[in-house]
Structure 1
Amino acid sequence: MSQNKTPKIDFVITWVDGSDEKWLAEKRAIAEGQPSLEKPRFDSSDLRFRNDFDFLKYWFRGVEKFAPWVNRIFFVTAGHLPDWLNPDHPKLKIIHHSDFIPKEFLPTFNSHTIENNLHRIAELSENFVYFNDDFYLLRKTRSEDFFKEWQYQGKTQLLPRAFFAENILINNPSRDIFPYIQMNNMALVNQDYDKRSFYKLHKSKAYNIKYGIFNLRNFLLKPWREFSLLYDPHCAISYKKSTFETVWKKHEEILKETSLHHFRSDRDVSHLIFYYTQLLEGKFIPRSANFSHHTMLNKDENQNLQIIRMVKSQKYHILCINDGEVKDPAKTRTTLTAAFDKILPEKSTFEK
C-alpha cells in the first residue's frame, strides 16, 4: 500500500442464535401471519437458523491470528450474544438490527433485509468485508488480499479483490426459492449491463490467469447475448459502501420490497446484486479462485473427513463450512473441534 500504510478495512459478520426461545417465539408468531406460501413463497423454517456446531469462537480466533490488520469488527445480531464473547473488546462493535435497519423493515428474519442494508451501519468504513458466521479464516492474510490499490488515468483507487466467472442458472425445485432469487438478481444485472461491452472494456478482468479453469467457463459462455448467472464464490466478499448507496438509488423499489419481507421470499434480491455491480463495473482486482472454498457437512462421512483435512492442512485462506444433516453430530463436532484446535488452539482476546 502507499507509504506502507494499512488501509482502513472493517469486517462485518452477521449472527443469529437459533436456540433463543424469545427470538423463536417472535419469529413463529410473525410466520403464522404470513400469506399463503404461494405468490410469493416465503422461507420461514426454523431449520434455516439452526447452528448445530457453533464454531463462532474459531472465527474470532482466525481473525485475530490471520487478519490482525483489520480496523474494526461489526458484529450484527438481533440482540443476543454468545456467552463467551467479550463485548468490550476495542475492535468489536455490537450492532443490533434496530441500530441500522429502518423501522419499517423490522422485525426481520430475512437475511436479505439485513445484508442489503449493511451500508446504513454508522461508523462502517467505505471498505469492508462481509462474512457469514461459517466463513473461517485458516491462513495468514494481508489487507491486499481483500482490497488493493489500482492506478488508472493518474488516479489511485482502492478496489475490492474478487474473481469473475460466468455460471448457468438451473431451476432445481429441491432448492426451493433460491433459483428465483438468482433469477431476480440477474434480471437487474442484464437490465443494467451489456455483456458484450463488459468483455470488450474489461478483457484483463474477464479472463485472468488467477481464475484457472474458470477462464474456460467464461470462454464457453461468452457467445450468449446475456448473462445467465454469475458465479457466487460463497466466500467473504469485499464491498465498497458506496456501491450499496449507488444501487439503492437505482433500484430502490425492489430493494425496499425485499426489505419489507419478514422472511426470505422468491421475490427478493440478495446482496449479490452489489457484488455483481462491482464486477461488471470493472471495479475489482482479480484474485485467485482458490483463495477460498465452500463445502457442507452431510451424511457422507468421507466428505466430512475431507473437510476436516482441509481445516488441518489450512488448504485455503477462507473455508466456508455449511451445517447439514450428519449421521453422528457428536462425533462430527468432536473431530471438527479437534481440527480447529490444531490450528487455532489459543483463546482470542475476543473471548472472556
Structure 2
Amino acid sequence: MTAVFDQALRRSSGPAGNAGDGALRRSAQAGPTTVTAEHGDVYVEPGLTPLAAREANRSALTALLDTAGIAHFAVRGTDDHGTVVGVAEEDRERVLSVVFRGLGQFPGHLSVIDPDAPRPARPVSTRDPKAWREVSAARILRISWYRTDPERHLLLGHEYGCAIEFWQRDGSYLLAPRANRATWAVAADAPNVLGAARLFSRFVSDWTPQRLAPALATRPEFLVNCADDIAFPVDAVYTWVDGDDPAWQRRKAQAKGEVYHAESASDARFISRDELRYSVRSLHLFAPWIRNVYVVTDDQVPAWLREDVPGLRIATHREIFRDRSVLPVFNSHAIESQLHRIEGLAEHFLYFNDDMFVGRPVAPHAFFTPSGTARYFPSRNRIPQGPVVETDTPVDAACKNNRALLMKRFGRVITQPMEHIPYALRRSAMEEAERDFPEAWARTAASRFRAMTDLSPTSSFALYYAALTGRAQPGSMPFTYLQLAVPDLADRLQRLLDGRDQDTFCLNDAFSTPEDIEAQQELLDGFLNAYFPTPSPYER
C-alpha cells in the first residue's frame, strides 16, 4: 500500500538538520530524508517552491487514497495555499486507516479543522499521540509534511497541506462539511472529470506549466467559471542594464544629452547588483501564474540567463522604439514609454524595475480585478504644487508634467505619486495615452537622459490615464521600500528576511557612493540568497 505513497513523498531528500526560531540548523543524527525540527519532522527538497510543496502534499495524500481504492475528488477550497480533497463519509474508517499508516511511515503534521471554531487549531506532529485524539469524528483533517530547501532558508509548513473533507450522503447527493468556492453538494455517484489547476488555487493560471500544477480529478459541479476568477493572461516586464558593460559605457559616454540633476546621472542608477536574477526567482517562487517574462535591454543579456527556455524573452530597445533614431537612450522614462510596443505582450502586465521583488505568494487579484481593472498604489507623499522648477527632482518634475497634461485633458488634478510596487498596466491604456499626447510622449522617448520635460509613463501617467478612462482603481498591499544608502541596512534587511510578511518590496539605490557599494553588495548577496534560494528555470 505504501509503495506509491513512498514514491510521491520521496521527491524530498537531503541531509539532516534542526529548526529553531524560523531558521533550520544542522543536526548530527537524523534520517536520510528528513530534518528534525522543534515542531516536528521537516523534509529537505531541492528546487523547493510553495507550489511544489502544495502539490507534493496533495499527491502524497491522494496516493495513499488511491492505493486503498478510496474514491476522492478535488474541491475548490477557499484557501489558495493548500488543497482540498473530498471523500464520502462512509469511507471514513478506511481513510483514517491508510492515513494513520502512511503518517506512521513518514511522520508529518495534522490538525482537526472545525469550520465553526473562532480560530484554526494548531498543527501537531503526528509523532505526538495528541494529534490523533479527535480525528475519529472530525469533519475535516489537514495533513502536511513540512519542507525546506537544502540550505534551510525556506520553511513551508501546514498552510501548504492537503485537507480531507468528509462529505455526508443525502439521498443522491454528497453534502460539503463547509463552504467552498462553488457548491454545497455534488452528485454522489457521478464520475470524476478533469479540472484545470487554476480552479483550485488563485496562485495558478492556465499558463503555469502542467508539470508544476497538473489538472485534478474533480466533480463537474466545480468546473464553473466563477465571477471572481481571473482567466486572462498576465505578463511581467523588466527593464535592465549592466552598467559595467564596456560597450554600454562607451555608448553612454558618446551620447549627446544634457543632465540637469545629479541624481539622473548617478552611476548608482546603472549598477547591476544581480537583482534581476533574484527578482525573476521571486516570480518563480511566489507568482507562478505569470505567463511570460520580458526583459527589456540595450542589446545586453545577463550572463546567468538562459534564452532557450520558454516563458522568458529579451526585448531590445531596437525592437520596441517607434523612432530608432533617438537611440541610444539612458533614461528609464524614455524606455518605459515604449513598453507597450513589445511584440506579444499581454493586455494586462506588471512592470518591474529590477530592484522590485515579490515577497510571498500573491495572486493576480492583488494587481487586477476579475473584470480586468488594474490596481494602482498611491503614495502617502504629495506632488509639489506649482510648475516645474530647476530644484525639482526628476521624479517631481515628471509628476508635475503628468499633472498638467491630465488636468488639461480630463479636468482632474493628480496629487500623489505611486509607491515602489510593481505597476499593474493595461497595454491598451498606454497605446491610447500615446495617441492622445503624441508630442509629450515622443519628447519623453527622445530624452537620452532624464529631462525636465519628461513624463513618467509607467510609474504614474499611464496608471492615472487608465483610472480616468475607467480601467484602473486604487488599491493597497503590504510592501516595503528600502533605500540601500542607509546606515542600518543590515538590520533592515534582517527584519525583512525574518518577517517575510510583505507582498512586495523594493531595494532602491540612487545615492550610493563607490565606497558604499562593496559593503552593500556583501549584505545583499547574503540576503537575496537566503530570501530566494531556489533558482528559476531561466538560470544557467
1:291 partner amino acid: P
Matched, 1:29 2:254: yes
1:1-20 equivalence runs, <5 A? 2=225, 6-20=231-245
Q: Could you tell me which residue of structure 1 aligns to residue 468 of structure 2?
A: 280
Alignment of 1:115-154 (within 5 A): 115-149=336-370
Residue by residue over 1:152-186, the C-alpha shift from the partner in whole angstroms, topping out at 9 and shown as x without a partner, is xxxxx311122456753337966643322221111
2:478–2:501 contact (8 Å) kept in structure 1: no
Whether the 8 Å contact between 2:321 and 2:341 is mirrored in structure 1 is yes
Quote the offset at 1:60 in angstroms: 1.3
State the one-letter code of the partner of 1:121.
I
Aligned residue number for residue 168 of structure 2 = none
Between the aligned partners of 1:315 and 1:169, the Cα distance in structure 2 is 29
Matched, 1:247 2:468: no
* CA distance in structure 1 between the aligned counterparts of 2:376 and 2:342, rounded to whole angstroms: 23
2:398 is matched with which residue?
A: 181
Tell whether the 8 Å contact from 1:7 to 1:143 is kept in structure 2 after alignment: no
- Which residue type is aligned with residue 230 of structure 1? Q
Residues 324-339 of structure 1 aligned to structure 2 (within 5 Å) = 324-325=511-512, 329-339=517-527
Output the CA distance in 1 between the equivalents of 2:498 and 2:468.
36
Cα deviation for residue 294 of structure 1 reads 1.9
| 1:83 maps to 2:303 | yes
Moved more, 278-287 or 236-245: 278-287
Give, as a single letter, the amino acid of the residue that structure 2 aligns with 1:294: Y
In the alignment, structure 1 segments of 5+ residues that lack a partner are 150-156, 196-225
Counterpart check, 1:292 vs 2:479:
yes
Q: Corresponding residue for 2:327? A: 106
Question: Structure 2 counterpart of 1:14, which letter?
Answer: T
1:161 aligns with 2:375: yes
Distance 2:272 2:278 in 1: 15
Report the 3-state secondary structure (helix = DSSP H, G, I; strand = E; otherwise coil) of the residue aligned with 1:301: coil
Aligned position for 2:159: none
C-alpha spacing 1:303/1:118, structure 2 compared with 1 (3 Å):
same
- Once the two structures are superposed, what CA deviation does each residue of 1:240-295 show, in whole Å capped at 9, x if it has no partner? 1000111111100111111122221111111121111123334234432x333322
* 1:267 pairs with one of 453, 464, 467: 453
Distance 1:107 1:243, change over 3 A: same
Q: Could you report, residue by residue, the CA deviation over 1:330-352 in whole angstroms, capped at 9, with x for unpaired residues?
A: 44323332222223212221111
- Give the TM-score of the pair, scaled to structure 1: 0.79
Amino acid at match of 1:145: A
1:177–1:309: structure 2 CA closer, same or farther, 3 Å change rule?
same
1:43 is displaced (CA, Å) by 7.2
Matching residue within 217, 237, 241 for 2:423: 237
Distance 1:287 1:181, change over 3 A: closer
Shift of 1:46: 5.3
CA RMSD of aligned residues (A): 2.5
Task: Specify the code of the residue in structure 2 equivalent to 1:295.
Answer: L
SS at 2:488 equivalent: helix
* 1:312 and 1:339 in contact (8 A); partners too: no
Q: Deviations over 1:198-221 (max 9, x none)?
A: xxxxxxxxxxxxxxxxxxxxxxxx
Deviation at 1:93, TM superposition (A): 1.1
Aligned to 2:287: 67
Distance in 1 (CA, whole Å) between partners of 2:391 and 2:274 is 26
Alpha-carbon separation, structure 2, partners of 1:18 and 1:232 = 26
Alpha-carbon contact 1:43-1:263 (below 8 Å) kept: no
* Mapped pair 1:306 → 2:492: yes
Please report the TM-score for the alignment, with normalisation by the length of structure 2: 0.53
CA contact (8 A) 2:242 2:272 kept: no
Structure 2: stretches of 5+ with no match in the other structure? 1-201, 203-224
What is the CA deviation profile of residues 122-173 of structure 1, one whole-angstrom value per residue up to 9, with x for unaligned ones?
A: 1001111100000011110112112122xxxxxxx31112245675333796
Task: Decide which structure has the larger Cα Rg and report it.
Answer: 2
Distance in 1 separating the partners of 2:461 and 2:349: 16
More helix by share: 1
